[in-house]
Amino acid sequence: MTLGNQKKIERVFFQNLVIRQIRQDYLENLTGFAWLILQPLIFLAVYAFVFSTIFKARMPQDVDIGFVPYLAIAFWPWTAFSEAVLRASNSITSSGSLIGKIAFAAEQIPLATVTATFIMHMIGYLTVLIVLQLMGTSIHWFHLSLVVPLMLLMWLFACGIALFTSATQVFVRDLAQIMPPLMTLWFFTTPILYAASYLPESVQAIARWNPMAWFIARLRELLLFGEINFGGIALAMALIIVVFAWLSLRFFRRFSGHFEDFL
């Protein structure tokens, strides 16, 4: 069997895994595809009501944009990221019916889970952007070409974390309980519901190292403010994430041959 053939097998198998994941997680109910559009809109309505009407969230003085679009632009990418990481962390432990029965590269499971989650949420994101535009927020559509590589980098970041946590969870089952609160903590420490400038100076210095804060700041600039703000930091961030994902893959592969013994 040639190496090329092997590559082809893995590609087709991966595609099928992603499709299966999407069907299982998102299309397994009666209304099917309609929920894909409805769900994000309902979420948006709930958040808009809670934060702008009840909490009366304020915007920074110099920002001339409503709270709802400001939140929406950041909230969907975060949901995609957080859901992808949480689902993928459990993906190996819940794949007993594949691992130990058929031979394949186990990293495909968490990667397929992350990919499927991202694909579905990006469809939702697009829906939200269109709705925002229709409701009068001007979206800088031309910058989508820069949003795509940004999202790919975020996907890679999620893959890196997922490889790390899914392999670890096979051995440390408690991770299933630890991960959700950790992700919630991450959510509130990332400027999603608020602007980064609201953070105390000392905290801002630390928050700068949070890749998610960086992603979200860039997304807001690109889509809402129409600013392009990529420099050396973007390059460094890309490099760090690529190295991190590669190390995670190495970490994962160190254990993947032994998963069957522990499932």
Partner 1 sequence: MDSLVRMEGVSKIYPRVHKPRERLQAFGSLLLGRKPAHGAKVLSDIHLDVVRGQSLGIIGENGAGKSTLLKVLTGVIQPTHGRVMVHANIAAMLELGAGFQPDFSGMENVRMKASLMGLSNKELDARLDEILDFADIGEYIHEPVKHYSSGMVVRLGFAVITACRPDLLITDEVLAVGDESFQKKCIRWIEQFLKNGGTLLLVSHSMYVVQKLCQKALWIHDGKVAEFGDVFPVTQAYLAWHEKRQAKEKEQRVRATGEGSYYRIEQFQLLEQQGDETPSFAMGDSLDIELQIYSPDDRPPVGVVGIVRADGTPVYGVVSDNENIQPVKLADNQYRFRLRFTDIRLLPGSYNLSGHSMDPEGVRVFDMQQIAFTITGSTQEVGFIKLPHQWLD
Greatest Cα-to-Cα distance within the chain, rounded to the nearest angstrom: 64
Restricted to residues 1-20, the positions that interact with partner 1 (CB under 8 A) are 1, 5, 8-9, 12-13, 15-16, 20
Q: Which amino acid is at 18?
A: V
Binding segment for partner 1 (CB under 8 A), chosen from 77-85, 141-149, 192-200, 251-259, is 251-259
Q: Shortest Cβ distance from residue 17 to partner 1 (Å)?
A: 8
d(CA 228, CA 144): 12
Residue that is written with structure tokens 């309902």 in the block? 42
- Minimum gap (Å) between residue 243 Cβ and partner 1: 19
Site pattern 182..201 for partner 1 (x: CB under 8 A) = --------------------
Residue number with CB closer to partner 1 (2 or 145): 2
Q: Binding of partner 1 at residue 255 (CB under 8 A)?
A: yes
Q: Does 247 bind partner 1 (CB under 8 A)?
A: no
> Contact with partner 1 (CB under 8 A): which of 58, 208, 250, 254?
254
Q: Which two tokens stand for residue 242?
A: 């690529």
Report CA torsion sign: 63, 67, 68, 71: positive
Dihedral angle sign, alpha carbons of residues 151, 204, 245, 22: negative
Q: How far is 78 from 68, CA to CA, in rounded Å? A: 15
For the CB of residue 6, give the shortest distance to partner 1 in the complex, in Å: 8
Q: Is 152 among the residues that bind partner 1 (CB under 8 A)?
A: no
140 or 253: whose CB is closer to partner 1? 253
In one letter, which amino acid is 218?
A: R
* C-alpha angle 14-16-20 in degrees, rounded to nearest 5: 120
Site for partner 1 in 87-126 (CB under 8 A): 97-98, 100-104
Of the candidate residues 34, 38, 152, 172, the single one contacting partner 1 (CB under 8 A): 172
Site for partner 1 in 23-42 (CB under 8 A): 24
Between 16 and 138, whose beta carbon lies closer to partner 1? Answer: 16
Quote the least distance from Cβ 252 to partner 1, whole Å. 12
CB 67 within 8 A of CB 57: yes
Q: Are 113 and 88 in contact (CB under 8 A)?
A: yes
What is the amino acid identity at position 19? I
Instruction: Tell the smallest beta-carbon distance from residue 34 to partner 1 (Å).
Output: 22
Instruction: Name the token pair of 130.
Output: 């269109």
Query: What are the φ and ψ backbone dihedral angles of 152, each rounded to 5 degrees?
Result: -65, -40
CA torsion 141→119→209→217, rounded to 10°?
A: 20
Judged by the rule CB under 8 A, the positions of this chain that interact with partner 1 are 1, 5, 8-9, 12-13, 15-16, 20, 24, 97-98, 100-104, 168, 171-174, 254-255, 257-258, 260-262
